[in-house]
Structure 1
């Protein structure tokens, strides 16, 4: 027989090949399991990041709304201040006219009192 004459055991060789293939298959299965676990963890991290980014987006939108409100209030304040500035100028002009009118009246009274009777 072939096995006995050459000292080569074909069945033993086949079992070794099957054992090595099984070991390779187990290592490949473990590697796939690790890769699967890493993929799951990566997906969880991605979902958390998407959630955080969504919250940050909402926060930024709220901040933007508040800034737009503040900008509108600043525009209103600017309008009111310019209106108040115009009113101050008008009041000063009226006050100057009143002072000029009173001065003219005073001059007229002095003229009539001292110079007209003479």
Structure 2
């Protein structure tokens, strides 16, 4: 179950099925992600094709991310069968272009280190 959503647009979409506040091209996938996240009993339940579930590192250790599209992610904390602090973020494109290459240094996303 989703306990808290930080992003106002995601919260509006989840609570009222109102896509204002999210990118219109992402609304359908975001709706699917939120529905799956709400039904998830474990974080592994979010490991679905196209979601690209992965843990975050650095200041966001303990958070998980799923892909919305290209460089857009939904991030969340998952504990005791519940998701919290659900938010949306965008990675810089240069991060995505080289995502398949091994890096010796972590890449930075605002306050988050993304690997």
TM score, norm. by length of structure 2: 0.16
More helix, by proportion: 1
TM score, norm. by length of structure 1: 0.16
Structure having the higher Rg: 1
